[in-house]
Amino acid sequence: MAADEHIETASDLGDGSGEVISDGSDTPAPEPNTPAPEPDTPAPEPDTPTPEPDTPTPEPDTPTPEPTVTPSDPTVTPEPTVTPSDPTATPEPTVTPSDPTATPSPAPTNVTESEAAKNLVAKINALAKETLTVNHAARVKELRAEYDSLPEDQKKFVTNYDLLVGFESKIAELQKNQKDAGNATDISDGSGNVTGKTGTPVYYVSNLHAGKEFYLDSLKNNYQLSFSDDFSSVMDEIEKEYKEKNKLTDISDSRADGLTTSADSLFVRNWQDILAIYVYEQSQEGNTEFTLDSSAKDELAKIFAEMNPVVRDKESITHVSYGNYHINHYIKQNNISQENRTVLKKYVETDCKLLCAIVTDAKGFVRQSVGDDVSEERVNVITAAYSLVGEVGYFWGGKSTQIGKDSSWGSAAKVSAAGSASSGTVRAYGLDCSGFVTWSVINGYLNQGMQSSVGDGTSEQWENANVVSEQDAQPGDLVFQNGPEAGSNNHVGIICGKTDAGDWIAVHCSSSKNGVTVGEAYGASFRYIRQPSFYPTQTEVAEMENQGASADNAETDLITDNITTSATLVAETTNSLSDGLNVKDTATHDTAETITAPADAAEDVEITFEDMSDESENQTTSNYATGSVEVTDTLDEILNQNVSVSGSSAEILPQKPDNSDIQVTFED
């Protein structure tokens, strides 16, 4: 059968060697065969007679092998290929097929293909009527495949091709901005290699998530500091025991959950200074590394008492607050030399404050890192947010309303939410960006009912917050990468402070870092600040503070020797620190009598100091302005460690005047 087919093919090519060879002696026999192709190929007719004298020459050679070689192995018979060496000179057989190619035989098929083109045009027009989101990526890809499959002469019928190109451009832009969508980094080992995948993508439950190591290493390397995991509770114990010793109770102490609010009066706002003094005193004993754990409790408690004398209200003997002294009080009291002040100043720098707050998630450190003007409600939310650094991984669609750590975190779960490269895979359960914000607010207020106030998902969280200018924004506000046009394809975080340069810092659950991370907000592509409506307003905070100020929080028979009155406790200010650094130190009290000097009277202002021994001394200051600490390389490293946009400005929105080339607008 194969031999027959081979012979037919050879005859089609006009080599004439198929059946003529079987005759052997008769040369005229091929003549009736050659006329047969004449109707098919009239042009070769005059050429075929010329090869006739050539064909007889191989006939005597081929008669014997033909019956055996030709049928058995068609490939072994090269003779037909040799004999057409003459016909090869005649390009007519190759020219004759040029007619079929020249003939637009596809013309009848144009009708079918144009139907495909018409269908594609209709599909593109239909998509143009919809709001394009990242979820349309697969559909746009299908349209592109349909277009590419069309013949070249049919593509001209796709008259709305520009719309398709526009779809692709928009999808690419949305995908670039979608930082919380599951991409390759969401489910990779950080080196670009997907880990744990077998068959249908399944990922190990033990996938690594962002931890505290970076912050711990920064403290260790730059400040020789290390904290135990329970150091926050050590700080709480010191505060609690100090209250008990002095028979003090705050409004929050009467609450079952112990939640602090702006109505409380006994806030400790100098824990960073207490830490600095502890490190200084340890360094004077020859220590070069400092571990903060339960073993340091007694020494810290002693410093705490010295730096927080009980201040009795001059109007009410049953209401008190804390002195909240800072390091310059300690410097003055102990006559610390210029060269020895360096250690004290180092541990109250901005970067050290930030690191201590992140690593310990202790309210005492958080309060000082965000500033005295930030309400306790905001401090509580930021503290809750810090508590998840290193504790939970990123999970597309992950939510939780649990008060405290959710036991389901870290367990194997299928990503059921659509729209991510990790959708349909199994990985360790955790939180996505909006889930992290919701959990932080719920735990900041210790109230699951706050879920409806903050909202579920980035769209609701945007809608439930209000427009705010950068000047009026505060730590605790929300920050978004995109505006409302992005819908749920957005990324959200919580502002947690500012650098000395005025750049906002944000804490957020990052898909690329696979967990909760802290860094400079603008560098993480955040562009819009929104102020949630659930925080108390400034007026409401003032009312709460007045309520607390009128409440009794001390007994009449205080047994402490560490008491002074707010009538004489004014403020402590000095500018005598080395290298020109001015540190403002105020002793907080419950009245509105804090003395501040007007700008035009900055020189020769007489400031009265009140210490525990009731000895007064006068000190003249030539400059009342508050200095600021420069952003160090360490802080730059901290803030840039989660930057996702290369080459971006290290400024937060809107840009400061010296960076006016970048314009950021706020949505209203």
One domain for residues 382 and 519: yes
Residue 130 placed within a domain: yes
User: In this predicted model, which residue has the larger pLDDT, 130 or 658?
Assistant: 130
User: In this predicted model, which residue has the larger pLDDT, 34 or 436?
Assistant: 436
Percent of the chain with pLDDT over 90: 48
Q: Which two tokens stand for residue 49?
A: 């007679």
Q: What is the pLDDT of residues 65-88, one digit of tens each?
A: 454 444 445 454 455 544 444 544
What pLDDT is attached to residue 448? Answer: 97
Per-residue pLDDT, averaged over 207-227, amounts to: 85
Q: Compute the distance between CA of residue 181 and CA of residue 356 in angstroms, rounded to an integer.
A: 31
What pLDDT is attached to residue 209? Answer: 54
Backbone phi, psi, residue 227, to 5°: -120, 145
655: closest CA among 647, 645, 666, 644? 666
One domain for residues 57 and 153: no
563-565 and 310-312 beta bridge pairing: parallel
What pLDDT is attached to residue 174? Answer: 79
Do the beta carbons of residue 140 and residue 151 sit within 8 Å? no
225-227 and 290-292 beta bridge pairing: parallel
Question: Is residue 623 scored above 60 in pLDDT?
Answer: no
- Other Cβ atoms within 10 Å of 133 Cβ, number: 17
pLDDT bucket at 555, cuts 50 / 70 / 90: confident
Q: What is the pLDDT of residues 515-542, one digit of tens each?
A: 999 999 999 999 999 999 999 999 999 9
What pLDDT is attached to residue 212? Answer: 83
Residue 366 placed within a domain: no
Q: What is the pLDDT of the chain when averaged over all its residues?
A: 74
666: closest CA among 491, 465, 502, 412? 465
One domain for residues 500 and 406: yes
The CATH number covering residue 529 comes to: 3.90.1720.10
Q: What is the pLDDT of residues 478-501, one digit of tens each?
A: 999 999 888 888 999 999 999 888
Q: What is the pLDDT of residues 599-612, one digit of tens each?
A: 333 333 333 333 33
What pLDDT is attached to residue 112? Answer: 56
Residue 7 placed within a domain: yes
Per-residue pLDDT, averaged over 317-334, amounts to: 94
Integer angstrom CA distances of residue 376 from 243, 270, 585: 19, 15, 21
| End residue of a domain, out of 56, 73, 101 | 101
Question: Is residue 52 scored above 50 in pLDDT?
Answer: no
Q: Compute the distance between CA of residue 238 and CA of residue 233 in angstroms, rounded to an integer.
A: 9
Q: Which residues contact 187 (CB under 8 A, 6 or more apart)?
A: 194, 195, 201, 203, 207, 421, 422, 425, 427
Residue 121 placed within a domain: yes
One domain for residues 329 and 402: no
Q: Highest mean pLDDT: which of 45-49, 96-100, 223-227?
A: 223-227
Q: Which two tokens stand for residue 488?
A: 């749920």
User: In this predicted model, which residue has the larger pLDDT, 311 or 208?
Assistant: 311
One domain for residues 346 and 264: yes
Residue 194 placed within a domain: no
Q: What angle do CA 444, 446, 452 make, to 5 degrees?
A: 85
Q: Compute the distance between CA of residue 66 and CA of residue 59 in angstroms, rounded to an integer.
A: 10
SS (H, E, C) 11-80: HHCCCCCCCHHHCCCCCCCHHHHCCCCCCCCCCCCCCCCCCCCCCCCCCCCCCCCHHHHHHHCHHHCCHH
What pLDDT is attached to residue 310? Answer: 95
One domain for residues 8 and 63: yes
Residue 436 placed within a domain: yes
| End residue of a domain, out of 78, 101, 124 | 101
Q: Compute the distance between CA of residue 290 and CA of residue 332 in angstroms, rounded to an integer.
A: 24
Per-residue pLDDT, averaged over 215-228, amounts to: 95
Question: Is residue 42 scored above 70 in pLDDT?
Answer: no
What pLDDT is attached to residue 500? Answer: 83
Q: Among 243-247, 408-412, 440-444, 572-576, which stretch is predicted with the lowest mean pLDDT? A: 572-576
- Other Cβ atoms within 10 Å of 505 Cβ, number: 27
Sign for the CA dihedral angle at 184, 188, 191, 197 comes to negative
Per-residue pLDDT, averaged over 411-431, amounts to: 92
What pLDDT is attached to residue 564? Answer: 56
What pLDDT is attached to residue 223? Answer: 97
Do the beta carbons of residue 260 and residue 391 sit within 8 Å? no
* 93 prior amide bond cis, ω within 30: no
Backbone phi, psi, residue 289, to 5°: -130, 145
What pLDDT is attached to residue 136? Answer: 85
Q: What is the pLDDT of residues 129-169, one digit of tens each?
A: 787 777 788 899 999 999 999 898 888 888 888 889 988 98
Q: Compute the distance between CA of residue 307 and CA of residue 334 in angstroms, rounded to an integer.
A: 13
Question: Is residue 235 scored above 80 in pLDDT?
Answer: yes
One domain for residues 641 and 616: no
Q: What is the pLDDT of residues 178-194, one digit of tens each?
A: 644 444 333 232 333 33
Integer angstrom CA distances of residue 545 from 247, 446, 548, 550, 567: 21, 20, 5, 9, 19
Q: What is the pLDDT of residues 99-116, one digit of tens each?
A: 544 444 444 444 455 788
Q: What is the full DSSP assignment across 91-108? A: -HHHHTTHHHHHTTTTGG
One domain for residues 68 and 10: yes
DSSP 521: T
One domain for residues 530 and 543: no
Integer angstrom CA distances of residue 276 from 74, 330, 331, 448, 502: 95, 10, 11, 37, 24
What pLDDT is attached to residue 415? Answer: 93
Partner residues linked to 188 by β-bridges: 194
Question: Is residue 387 scored above 90 in pLDDT?
Answer: yes
What pLDDT is attached to residue 637? Answer: 62
One domain for residues 646 and 514: yes
Q: Highest mean pLDDT: which of 161-175, 265-279, 419-433?
A: 265-279
Q: Compute the distance between CA of residue 424 and CA of residue 131 in angstroms, rounded to an integer.
A: 25
Question: Is residue 301 scored above 70 in pLDDT?
Answer: yes
Q: Within its chain, how far is the Cα of 298 from the centroid?
A: 41
Looking at the 3D structure of the chain, how many domains does it have?
Answer: 4
Residue 665 placed within a domain: no
What pLDDT is attached to residue 314? Answer: 82
Q: What is the pLDDT of residues 571-581, one digit of tens each?
A: 443 333 444 34
User: In this predicted model, which residue has the larger pLDDT, 246 or 582?
Assistant: 246
Domain range for 171: 110-177
What pLDDT is attached to residue 562? Answer: 56
One domain for residues 27 and 89: yes
563-565 and 605-610 beta bridge pairing: unpaired
Residue 251 placed within a domain: yes
616-621 and 605-610 beta bridge pairing: antiparallel
One domain for residues 515 and 478: yes
Question: Is residue 254 scored above 50 in pLDDT?
Answer: yes
Q: Which two tokens stand for residue 34?
A: 């050659």
What pLDDT is attached to residue 171? Answer: 87
Question: Is residue 118 scored above 70 in pLDDT?
Answer: yes
Q: Which residues contact 129 (CB under 8 A, 6 or more apart)?
A: none
What pLDDT is attached to residue 427? Answer: 92
| End residue of a domain, out of 159, 177, 195 | 177
